[in-house]
Chains A and B, each alone.
Chain A
């Protein structure tokens, strides 16, 4: 059954910078488009000619295996040519600036630049400097829109809807681009979002993004239809908030013990890579409620949809 928003819309955005900048209808249309591509990925021949003759560059200023691989596969399954560029980012300018690199890539007649960067907003700056499409593959603490889209896609395929669902995002909210993109996307699609983190890892004013805030994991788990558990990174500010990994696991770790009191079919998500025994027990990660590997699979279909839509953006319509 199609909702009204899933009817074909004219896609006008050349870039995907974040879910903050998309309307509900646009997000629904990406998810709808991804469903079609999901079917493609289950065929014997997993390839369609949708982007034949187009070129995609993965411009990664931060190391990443899973996201880069997922984008690369998505582009290849659309028959695009793919080039991977890895650059060390630094505030000390050695050589080329981001904008110069972007302009050089554009001069090579590249259609889509998929960019991962440690500095928040780098894709925004790149997008307004080049005519090529820019897809954000994660920038600083800002956004990771395709991750949130694949999370939402997975959730919707599991539970049939997003509207009205109670979704809790648990972990280092302050430094998480996955959290921000999920908050924008889920709230726009009518889910009730709760964020749960130790007090020091709750960013200022996050409640203004339309979420409930708690530091008590039991509150976050109670009534949740789904949880999205974030990777805890102790090497940065997390260390200030928590004396030890063991202590974090004790207070915030998702365990089968804790899931006992939850809804029976609670969906457990994680953007990966998992720290087993820190934010989640192995039992939960590998358990019946976990959809972690389905997320990985769905990531390809969602990224195919994004690459397909931005490359075909009607630039004459604003």
Chain B
């Protein structure tokens, strides 16, 4: 099949492209990009007033398969990803059992081959069963294709273990992604520690439980001269520490998730368990700092931390509900509204944070519109307004605090490896 996408605003930050152009897709690959591309196509798609960009790359997705297929499967999760404009996602290893050995990876790859609607890359565990004690066999996992390692859901609490892991990751050229949380400070907490937790009578998670570990990790990365990536940054102090570490030349990168710039702790005031996530929603000041960090490049990427949970799990007392919300289908709109409409980021910057930067950090040849590469691209109507409804959710779980919100900027069409999925 040949597709010719006409007259779109083509944004490809990796190749410094931003202009009204045409894109020709042929045999699943990007054949040509330029002004007034001619040539025969089976289908011509009018992209006037639309943005045409590389498909998004999510560094942080929980697909729940194997183990919790009632919450999400590789099939449902990747379908949700495509709807949100993602053509590549990275699945986190905190499945049941954890992705900590090559047999587990092989098994998941089989499911991906069979069921996935987009590219799925695998993040392996840093330690066996994510217990923070014995390192996994990274060399073997890398051979099976893991693109990163993380014990996401927990920090590697033992400094010696993390130091060894950083050295291994550097040797194997695999990105180490840290979930930063000092469990001795956060234990039992369910929302940010502060006035709101006091008012609601809930146990708090102090920002300190995050940034103390960020601080420790920076020192370990400095000592080992190894790259480290900080997952879901939520507080001001973490942003400041990462900013300074970058200036000092530490090989550190960071991501945040849309809820950390779209919501504050106040949103939990009604005990809506869809506002319960870890790290928790923080204060207005923290939101400001996250936005500043995105603007000045301290925060490299926007990841979803898509964490599906069933209604049955979430429809309980706030203390008893699991942490996490789904995010694949709302990330673009939230980012466009909170960051582009407010002039914090340009569209090109945003595509960078959602596509080219995550790809670069993970060493993936994705997130760009290079000629000859597989046609993974997204078409966005930046002005399209819509109401996000529960019935529209493609993910198997519906745990989103944004249901009922009026959102703006919508994905209209996605190509995964040249296969078209038009959405509206």
Binary interface encoding of chain B residues 314-335 relative to chain A, with 1 for a CB under 8 A from any of its CBs, else 0: 0111111000000000000000
Whether B317 lies near A117 (C-beta < 8 A) is yes
Scan residues 258-295 of chain B and give those whose CB is less than 8 A from a CB of chain A. 270-271
A25 on interface, CB distance cutoff 8 Å: no
The size class of the interface chain B forms with chain A is 20 to 34
B200 on interface, CB distance cutoff 8 Å: yes
Tell me the complex Cα distance, A38–B319, Å: 38
Q: Which residues of B contact A (CB under 8 A)?
A: 193-202, 204, 270-271, 312, 315-320
Tell me the complex Cα distance, A140–B204, Å: 14
Tell me the complex Cα distance, A203–B318, Å: 19
Which residue of B195, B270, B312, B319 is within 8 Å of A204 (Cβ)?
B195
Task: Give chain A residues whose Cβ lies under 8 Å from the Cβ of B320.
Answer: 91, 93, 119
The size class of the interface chain A forms with chain B is 20 to 34
Task: Give chain B residues whose Cβ lies under 8 Å from the Cβ of A119.
Answer: 317-320
Binary interface encoding of chain A residues 109-131 relative to chain B, with 1 for a CB under 8 A from any of its CBs, else 0: 00000000101111011000000
Binary interface encoding of chain A residues 79-114 relative to chain B, with 1 for a CB under 8 A from any of its CBs, else 0: 000000000010101000111000000000000000
Q: Which residues of A contact B (CB under 8 A)?
A: 20, 89, 91, 93, 97-99, 117, 119-122, 124-125, 139-143, 174, 177, 180, 203-206, 208-209
Task: Give chain A residues whose Cβ lies under 8 Å from the Cβ of B195.
Answer: 204-206, 208
Which residue of A20, A97, A177, A208 is within 8 Å of B315 (Cβ)?
A97
Whether B202 lies near A204 (C-beta < 8 A) is no
Whether A120 lies near B316 (C-beta < 8 A) is no
Task: Give chain A residues whose Cβ lies under 8 Å from the Cβ of B194.
Answer: 204-205
Output the residue of A91, A99, A119 with the most chain B CB within 10 A.
A119
Whether B198 lies near A204 (C-beta < 8 A) is yes
Tell me the complex Cα distance, A203–B204, Å: 10
Query: Quick one: given A125-B271, A204-B193, A204-B204, are A120 and B198 in contact (CB under 8 Å)?
Result: no
Which residue of B197, B199, B317 is within 8 Å of A125 (Cβ)?
B317
B contacts with A: majority SS: helix
Whether B317 lies near A142 (C-beta < 8 A) is no
Which residue of B270, B312, B318 is within 8 Å of A120 (Cβ)?
B318
Tell me the complex Cα distance, A180–B199, Å: 7
Q: Within the complex, what minimum Cβ distance (angstroms) separates A171 from chain B?
A: 15
Q: Within the complex, what minimum Cβ distance (angstroms) separates B278 from chain A?
A: 16
Task: Give chain B residues whose Cβ lies under 8 Å from the Cβ of A97.
Answer: 312, 315-316
Task: Give chain A residues whose Cβ lies under 8 Å from the Cβ of B196.
Answer: 205
Tell me the complex Cα distance, A20–B312, Å: 29
Q: Within the complex, what minimum Cβ distance (angstroms) separates A130 from chain B?
A: 13
Q: Within the complex, what minimum Cβ distance (angstroms) separates B266 from chain A?
A: 12
Which residue of A89, A91, A93, A121 is within 8 Å of B271 (Cβ)?
A121
- Which partner residue on chain B sits nearest A140 by CB separation? B201
Task: Give chain B residues whose Cβ lies under 8 Å from the Cβ of A206.
Answer: 195, 198
Task: Give chain B residues whose Cβ lies under 8 Å from the Cβ of A204.
Answer: 193-195, 197-198, 204
Task: Give chain A residues whose Cβ lies under 8 Å from the Cβ of B317.
Answer: 89, 98, 117, 119, 121-122, 125
Query: Quick one: given A119-B320, A205-B195, are A141 and B201 in contact (CB under 8 Å)?
Result: yes
Task: Give chain B residues whose Cβ lies under 8 Å from the Cβ of A98.
Answer: 316-317
Output the residue of B193, B195, B317 with the most chain A CB within 10 A.
B317
Output the residue of A98, A139, A203 with the most chain B CB within 10 A.
A203
Q: List 23 A-B contacts (CB under 8 A).
A: A89-B317, A91-B320, A93-B316, A97-B315, A97-B316, A99-B316, A119-B319, A119-B320, A120-B318, A121-B271, A121-B317, A121-B318, A122-B317, A124-B270, A125-B271, A125-B317, A140-B202, A141-B202, A142-B202, A143-B201, A204-B204, A205-B195, A205-B199
Task: Give chain B residues whose Cβ lies under 8 Å from the Cβ of A208.
Answer: 195
Task: Give chain B residues whose Cβ lies under 8 Å from the Cβ of A142.
Answer: 200-202
Tell me the complex Cα distance, A98–B315, Å: 9
Tell me the complex Cα distance, A75–B318, Å: 29
Tell me the complex Cα distance, A91–B319, Å: 8
Output the residue of A117, A142, A143 with the most chain B CB within 10 A.
A142
Task: Give chain B residues whose Cβ lies under 8 Å from the Cβ of A120.
Answer: 200-202, 271, 318-319
Task: Give chain A residues whose Cβ lies under 8 Å from the Cβ of B316.
Answer: 93, 97-99, 125
Output the residue of A121, A139, A142 with the most chain B CB within 10 A.
A121
Q: Within the complex, what minimum Cβ distance (angstroms) separates A202 from chain B?
A: 9
Whether A124 lies near B315 (C-beta < 8 A) is no
- Which partner residue on chain B sits nearest A207 by CB separation? B195
Task: Give chain A residues whose Cβ lies under 8 Å from the Cβ of B318.
Answer: 119-121, 125
Instruction: Supply 17 further A-B pairs (C-beta < 8 A) apart from A122-B317, A124-B270.
Output: A93-B320, A117-B317, A119-B317, A119-B318, A119-B319, A121-B200, A121-B202, A121-B317, A121-B318, A125-B316, A139-B201, A180-B199, A204-B194, A205-B195, A205-B196, A208-B195, A209-B199
Whether B271 lies near A124 (C-beta < 8 A) is yes
Task: Give chain B residues whose Cβ lies under 8 Å from the Cβ of A143.
Answer: 201
Tell me the complex Cα distance, A97–B315, Å: 8
Kindly list the 10 A-B residue pairs having the minimum CB-CB distance in the complex, ordered from nearest.
A205-B195, A142-B201, A121-B271, A141-B201, A120-B201, A119-B317, A203-B198, A119-B319, A91-B320, A124-B271
Tell me the complex Cα distance, A179–B401, Å: 30
Tell me the complex Cα distance, A122–B194, Å: 20
Task: Give chain B residues whose Cβ lies under 8 Å from the Cβ of A141.
Answer: 201-202
Q: Within the complex, what minimum Cβ distance (angstroms) separates B364 from chain A?
A: 40
Q: Within the complex, what minimum Cβ distance (angstroms) separates B403 from chain A?
A: 14
- Which partner residue on chain A sits nearest B204 by CB separation? A204
Whether B270 lies near A20 (C-beta < 8 A) is no
Q: Within the complex, what minimum Cβ distance (angstroms) separates A50 from chain B?
A: 31
Q: Within the complex, what minimum Cβ distance (angstroms) separates A24 from chain B?
A: 18
Task: Give chain A residues whose Cβ lies under 8 Å from the Cβ of B200.
Answer: 120-121, 142
Task: Give chain A residues whose Cβ lies under 8 Å from the Cβ of B197.
Answer: 203-204
Tell me the complex Cα distance, A201–B99, Å: 42
Task: Give chain B residues whose Cβ lies under 8 Å from the Cβ of A180.
Answer: 199, 201
Q: Within the complex, what minimum Cβ distance (angstroms) separates B271 from chain A?
A: 3
Tell me the complex Cα distance, A204–B191, Å: 13
Q: Within the complex, what minimum Cβ distance (angstroms) separates B68 from chain A?
A: 16
Tell me the complex Cα distance, A91–B190, Å: 13
Task: Give chain A residues whose Cβ lies under 8 Å from the Cβ of B198.
Answer: 174, 203-206, 209
Tell me the complex Cα distance, A204–B201, Å: 11
Tell me the complex Cα distance, A188–B312, Å: 38
Q: Within the complex, what minimum Cβ distance (angstroms) separates B285 from chain A?
A: 13
Q: Within the complex, what minimum Cβ distance (angstroms) separates B351 from chain A?
A: 39
Output the residue of B195, B196, B271, B315 with the most chain A CB within 10 A.
B271
Output the residue of A99, A125, A206 with the most chain B CB within 10 A.
A125
Tell me the complex Cα distance, A117–B318, Å: 12
